Structure 1
């Protein structure tokens, strides 16, 4: 009888202790409240809507591509395949880009010239950050000092020289060309670069970004080196 009483008493204490622990944890770590004001929430909502619109546009383009490919497949599979290959080459930078965009000149800052300061080359870290910024602004094609940037391009320091695709980038001044999908995107790219803080980082390195006005047509050379196919396997015919 006493043993049963002890067991019940122990169970009650365990339940009470568990409830106290839960209550203590709730009081100690209250649920975080969203303290943003209405305008901050509206801005976040606007960004999400813009992203949603971009995704819908991409889905629409892919659906049109699939429909076009299916129609062409019924008439001529070879033409459909060549069309797809050419589009992929253009998308990854294996073909020349001709379209809207803007040209940027990287040149020594006026202050460094005035005091006769030695201008160092652009650093790989700064160039990588710049390329990442313009890609986040929806750049269609990027060329640095005549060197086309693609998905596999390497920007690194080689024996004290900044290189792109294993080719040295000359000392300032040199040009960076950015291609966009439309002239409206080019104007948006221009405004984003003007408002960006990336220019301050160039100024710290005694360099200046001279951002040209949006153009309806610029020419960006194609990637002219071989592409590694290390992870690609050829599928035997008929499979």
Structure 2
């Protein structure tokens, strides 16, 4: 009888101890709540939908390319492959392109000129911030001080000077060219940059952005570096 009472008492103590441990763990590690407002959540959802649309567009483009290969005769397959390579070179930024866009002049502020404040090379952080701000708009091509900027490009500090693709960016003034897919896209980018807070960041560095209205035909040069084929070898005919 005494053993049975001790066993019941022990089970009760274990149950109480387990409940205390669970309560203590919930107090120490409370469930994290999403404190964002509805607009922040909607903005994130809009970004996800935009990315989804872009991925679907790329999948459709690849499907069209595959269908064209299947429908062409063997004699025309080489031409189709060449056209695909040309498109890839254009996306990689190795070719000159002409299209609607805007020209932006980065120059010293009037106050810095009036007071004789020396202007040095634009900081890499400021230039990177500008590029990231512009890249909110998809499907654009950019040239910074005559240097093509694309996904393969880099902005670094070399020997104290800001460089793009390993080439020094000129001390202001210099120009930035941005080409969009349509003139409407260029107008949207133009209006966005006019109202952007990026102007304040440039002004703190004694620089201003002079944004010219959109134009129909702007040319930017291709990336001068050529891709080297290190692993692929052409097979002889009949292999």
TM superposition score normalised by structure 2 = 0.82
1:73-222 to structure 2, matched below 5 A, reads 76-222=76-222
1:215-234 to structure 2, matched below 5 A, reads 215-227=215-227, 233-234=231-232
* Distance in 2 of aligned mates of 1:48 and 1:2: 67
Q: 1:89 offset after TM fit, Å?
A: 0.5
Number of aligned residue pairs:
237
CA 1:36–1:105 in 2, change beyond 3 Å: closer, same or farther? same
Q: 1:74 offset after TM fit, Å?
A: 5.4
CA 1:72–1:205 in 2, change beyond 3 Å: closer, same or farther? farther
Q: 1:181 offset after TM fit, Å?
A: 2.0
* Distance in 2 of aligned mates of 1:137 and 1:34: 28
Q: 1:160 offset after TM fit, Å?
A: 2.6
Q: 1:122 offset after TM fit, Å?
A: 0.7
Q: Root-mean-square deviation (CA), in Å?
A: 3.0
Q: 1:197 offset after TM fit, Å?
A: 2.2
> Does the CA contact (< 8 Å) of 1:137 and 1:192 recur in 2?
no
CA 1:36–1:121 in 2, change beyond 3 Å: closer, same or farther? closer
Greater mean deviation of Cα atoms: 210-219 or 182-191? 182-191
CA 1:166–1:182 in 2, change beyond 3 Å: closer, same or farther? same
* Distance in 2 of aligned mates of 1:38 and 1:224: 47
Instruction: Give the 3-state SS of the residue equivalent to 1:178 in structure 2.
Output: strand
* Distance in 2 of aligned mates of 1:203 and 1:172: 13
Render the CA deviation track for 1:1-24: whole Å, top value 9, x for unaligned.
978876775555334322222133
Greater mean deviation of Cα atoms: 199-208 or 159-168? 159-168
> Does the CA contact (< 8 Å) of 2:121 and 2:162 recur in 1?
yes
Q: 1:199 offset after TM fit, Å?
A: 1.8
* Distance in 2 of aligned mates of 1:216 and 1:3: 95
Match of 1:64 in 2: 64
Instruction: Give the 3-state SS of the residue equivalent to 2:231 in structure 1.
Output: coil
CA 1:121–1:35 in 2, change beyond 3 Å: closer, same or farther? closer
1:31-46 to structure 2, matched below 5 A, reads 31-46=31-46
Greater mean deviation of Cα atoms: 218-227 or 180-189? 180-189
Instruction: Give the 3-state SS of the residue equivalent to 2:72 in structure 1.
Output: helix
> Does the CA contact (< 8 Å) of 1:187 and 1:214 recur in 2?
yes
* Distance in 2 of aligned mates of 1:26 and 1:10: 24
> Does the CA contact (< 8 Å) of 1:95 and 1:222 recur in 2?
yes
Instruction: Give the 3-state SS of the residue equivalent to 1:131 in structure 2.
Output: helix
TM superposition score normalised by structure 1 = 0.82
Greater mean deviation of Cα atoms: 101-110 or 29-38? 29-38
